[in-house]
Amino acid sequence: MSAITQAGSPLKKSPLRKLRELTGPRRILIHTLLIGVALIMLYPLLWMLSSSFKPDTEIFTHPGLIPDKVYPQNYSEGWSGSGNSFSLYITNSLIVTIGAVIGNVISCSLAAYAFARFEFRGKKIWFGLMLGTLMLPMQATLIPQYTLFYNLTWINTVLPLIVPKFLAVDAFFIFLMVQFIRSIPRELDQAAMMDGANPFQIYWKIILPLMRPALVTTTIFTFIWTYDDFFSQLVYLQQNNRFTVPLGLTLFLDQTSGSSYGPMFAMATLALLPTLICFLIFQKRLVEGLATSGMKG
């Protein structure tokens, strides 16, 4: 891990750039290979997108990417086709993801600031424990956590999905932020301290504004991972009217009649949009955040 984290930004000018670009047949070979792999990778996504605009009868009989006739009814049918309106699932997903983002940004930055800037008793042990929780399978704590939230009557509410984020349970982000805070010169803290600022003011007025890139990375990853976190949502949200987007999608699985593939593809495509948009906007930052303190996959 340290090898990677110490490696610094992956976008640092690489010595390789000094080398000249390949020429001739080898260059063509590499591009052909890469384009081929990219096509295989992305084709299923394009197929789903195109299927979402085809009538059911055409999806499996006309595998080509361009529909004979665009059939947008799949979207309107799918939107209301699973009992509740999809707008309800989207609203529920939004509540969960926004709550989780706020929780992670606040609690993880507080913890990271403490780890990066203070000396205190047992710090090495605590830091080690924090890294240890990164490798802990969540199943190990699942049943007691469920029992706890059950006793608090939080089942079928968003609380079990949001409150833990306010308790900095996503150690990955603490780690990411510790790395970032360490790169902020301590002179800035010390100057503020000379001016009589207390540690909280330093955190709030200096560290937090300066660590904005790390906060953005945390926001995007928390958003995507929470939005996609099917397991927790499946466990804690059991009533249809509490369902989030992933849970709403699974309702299509029960309709085995085969007459609703179009609407199912339409809503599945729709469900991928938020992640896709995040990816398109923040592509560079996502890749960078991953490479500098790579985790999860």
Partner 1 sequence: MTTAKTDEVVTEPTAPEAPSDQRERDRMRRRAARRRGGGWWPYLFLAPWFVGLFGLTIYPMLDSLYLSFTDFDLLSPAKWVGAQNYSRMFHDDPKFWGSVSVTTLYVVVSVPLKLALALAVAVLLNRPLRGLGFYRAAFYLPSLLGGAVAIAIMWRQLFGGDGLFNDFLGWFGIKGQDWISNPDTSVYTLILLAVWQFGTPMVIFLAGLKQLPQDVYEAAAIDGAGVLTRFFRITLPLLTPIVFFNVVLQIIGAFQTFTPAYVVSNGTGGPLDSTMLYSLYLYKKGFTDLEMGYASALAWVLFLVIAVFTAINFIASRYWVHYDD
- 149-168 residues in contact with partner 1 (CB under 8 A) are 150, 164, 166-168
Q: How far is the CB of 287 from partner 1 (least distance, A)?
A: 5
Q: Taking CB under 8 A as the criterion, which residues in 95-114 touch partner 1?
A: 106-107, 110-111, 113-114
Phi, psi of 197, rounded to the nearest 5 degrees: -75, 140
> Given candidates 105, 158, 174, 237, which one binds partner 1 under the rule CB under 8 A?
174
# binding residues, partner 1 (CB under 8 A): 124
In this structure, are residues 285 and 216 in contact, taking their beta carbons and an 8 Å threshold? yes
Q: Provide, rounded to whole angstroms, the least separation between the CB of residue 98 and partner 1.
A: 18
Contacts of 89 (CB under 8 A, 6+ apart): 243, 244, 245, 247, 248
Shortest spacing between CB 77 and partner 1, in angstroms: 16
Q: What is the dihedral of CA 266, 268, 274, 280, to 10 degrees?
A: -80
Closest CA to 111 of 121, 101, 123: 123
- Cα angle, residue 24 at apex, residues 21 and 29 outer, rounded to 5°: 90
The region of 74-82, 85-93, 211-219, 264-272 touching partner 1 under the rule CB under 8 A is 264-272
Q: What's the DSSP call for residue 166?
A: G
Site for partner 1 in 16-55 (CB under 8 A): 16-22, 30-31, 33-34, 37-38, 41-45, 47-48, 51
Residues 117, 178, 105: CA angle, nearest 5 degrees: 110
Residue 179 CA to its chain's centroid (Å):
19
Residue 170: closest CA among 210, 221, 207: 221
Q: Which is nearer to partner 1, 72 or 132 (CB)?
A: 132
Q: Is residue 281 involved in binding partner 1 (CB under 8 A)?
A: no
For partner 1, which stretch binds (CB under 8 A), given 14-22, 69-77, 92-100, 208-216? 14-22
For the segment 187-206, give every residue that binds partner 1 (CB under 8 A): 187, 190-191, 193-194, 199-200, 203
Q: How far is 233 from 227, CA to CA, in rounded Å?
A: 9
| Structural tokens at position 202 | 């330093």
For residue 128, give Cα distances in angstroms to 105, 122, 158, 171, 295. 21, 10, 30, 11, 16
Closest distance to partner 1 from the beta carbon of 94 (Å): 16
> For partner 1, which stretch binds (CB under 8 A), given 68-76, 77-85, 210-218, 288-296?
288-296
Q: How far is the CB of 259 from partner 1 (least distance, A)?
A: 14
CB 157, min distance to partner 1, A: 17
Q: Out of 140, 153, 195, 257, which residue is the one contacting partner 1 (CB under 8 A)?
A: 140
Give the binding range for partner 1 (CB under 8 A) out of 68-76, 91-99, 211-219, 280-288.
Answer: 280-288
Contacting partner 1 (CB under 8 A), which of 56, 82, 249, 263?
Answer: 249
Site for partner 1 in 50-79 (CB under 8 A): 51, 60-61, 63
Is residue 131 exposed (0-12), middle (13-18) or buried (19+ Cβ within 10 Å)? middle
- Binder among 32, 85, 91, 182 for partner 1 (CB under 8 A): 182
Are the C-beta atoms of 27 and 230 separated by less than 8 Å?
Answer: no
Residue 257: how many other CB atoms lie within 10 Å: 7
**Among 96, 261, 262, 263, which residue sits at the site for partner 1 (rule: CB under 8 A)?**
261
